[in-house]
């Protein structure tokens, strides 16, 4: 078997990193160094590059906390990224090399949040099998509400009535370039009131990311007589439309504006995409479900795909030594 080498990402790897993730079979724009770069203040980068001599064969977007490495805590999903030519046997050896590297550098554990399968350009669950071999522990499982747009989906009667109510109330839907109204008038107040929380991205951060990825990050707002009352921030990839933020003014949600917005996005704006990902409805590391929120998403025709998080000890690299027959 090949003897892969592993090293940390360095600034002069910027172009090669972006070129590699641009042709990987399980990558999205979230792994571009420009997207990851806004996290530099919050997280200490510990991204890894796996090489076959001088050739890049895999990358691991990651950060470090103490003696643990995480597949990046600032990203919605992460995991080992590789191209379509890599075979399962090679992924076993690659991951063994990563665990050995971590072990040699006194890092005890790796937490890996997998890339949900809907984000793969081609099937890419080799790492799932390798984690089983390395006796990784499942430590978290979130439930994502996803619509397969290539199939016929049934809108519930309740949602149909609400969408019609939105039409009757003459709500207007607009795609906008500026996030300020949604952030300041809807999203921030709602998160503070309901969850005592703030958006993961500040207004300045999301605006900067929009300039870097104008075709991937989009904002849709709902207006009543020219005043915003709801909206959603979309992260768009090749196969998937992901709702990064969904929020509406509480007093206005019964009037149908938010339902009208999502019906419009699903049936018109993004009807030619493969998947529409509403995101998760979980709290407490996946162990609690916001049933009302989950039901709302499912009433549009969404069903569940799980998003798994694993923890593996670096010393377990030796479990991958004698796997191949």
Segment 88-99, tens digit of pLDDT: 999 999 999 999
Sketch the domain layout of the chain as residue ranges.
5-142+307-320, 151-273
**Given pLDDT bands bounded at 50, 70 and 90, which one contains residue 172?**
very high
CA angle, 120 as apex, 117 and 121 as ends, to 5°?
A: 145
Rounded CA-CA distance 113/311 in Å is 9
Matching fold, domains 5-142+307-320 and 151-273: yes
Beta strands in 68-136 (DSSP E): 68-71, 81-82, 109-113
Out of 3.40.630.30, 3.40.50.11540, 3.40.640.10, 1.10.3720.10, the CATH code matching 151-273 is: 3.40.630.30
Q: How much of the chain, in percent, has pLDDT values that exceed 90?
A: 92
Beta strands in 124-198 (DSSP E): 137-148, 172-176
Q: For the whole model, what pTM was predicted?
A: 0.94
The CA distances from residue 251 to 3, 25, 178, 247, 269, in Å, are: 61, 44, 24, 12, 27
Percent helix, strand and coil across the chain, each to the nearest 5: 35, 30, 35
In this structure, what are the phi and psi dihedrals at residue 186, rounded to the nearest 5 degrees? -125, -60
Rounded CA-CA distance 47/60 in Å is 6
Out of 3.40.50.2300, 3.40.50.2000, 3.40.630.30, 3.20.20.30, the CATH code matching 5-142+307-320 is: 3.40.630.30
**Given pLDDT bands bounded at 50, 70 and 90, which one contains residue 19?**
very high
Closest CA to 270 of 236, 294, 298: 236
């Amino acid at each position: 078997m090949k003897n892969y080498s592993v090293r940390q990402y360095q600034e002069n790897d910027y172009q090669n990193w972006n070129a590699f993730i641009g042709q990987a079979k399980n990558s999205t724009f979230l792994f571009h160094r420009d997207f990851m770069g806004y996290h530099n203040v919050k997280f200490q980068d510990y991204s890894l590059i796996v090489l076959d001599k001088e050739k890049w064969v895999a990358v691991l977007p990651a950060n470090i906390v103490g003696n643990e490495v995480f597949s990046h805590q600032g990203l919605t999903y992460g995991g080992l990224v590789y191209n379509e030519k890599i075979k399962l046997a090679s992924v076993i050896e690659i991951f063994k090399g990563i665990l050995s590297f971590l072990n040699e550098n006194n890092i005890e554990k790796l937490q890996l949040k997998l890339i949900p399968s809907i984000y793969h350009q081609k099937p890419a669950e080799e790492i799932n099998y390798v984690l089983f071999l390395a006796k990784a522990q499942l430590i978290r499982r979130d439930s994502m509400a996803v619509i397969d747009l290539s199939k016929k989906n049934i809108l519930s009667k309740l949602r149909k009535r609400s969408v019609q109510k939105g039409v009757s109330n003459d709500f207007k839907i607009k795609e906008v370039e500026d996030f300020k109204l949604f952030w300041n008038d809807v999203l921030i107040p709602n998160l503070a009131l309901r969850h005592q929380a703030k958006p993961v991205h500040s207004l300045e951060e999301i605006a900067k990311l929009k300039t870097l990825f104008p075709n991937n990050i989009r904002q849709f707002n709902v207006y009543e007589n020219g005043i915003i009352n709801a909206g959603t921030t979309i992260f768009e990839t090749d196969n998937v439309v992901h709702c990064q933020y969904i929020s509406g003014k509480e007093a206005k949600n019964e009037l149908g504006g938010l339902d009208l917005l999502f019906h419009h996005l699903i049936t018109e704006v993004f009807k030619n995409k493969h998947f529409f990902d509403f995101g998760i409805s979980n709290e407490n590391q996946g162990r609690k479900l916001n049933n009302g929120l989950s039901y709302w998403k499912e009433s549009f025709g969404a069903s569940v795909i799980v998003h798994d998080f694993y923890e593996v000890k670096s010393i377990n690299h030796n479990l991958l030594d004698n796997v191949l027959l």
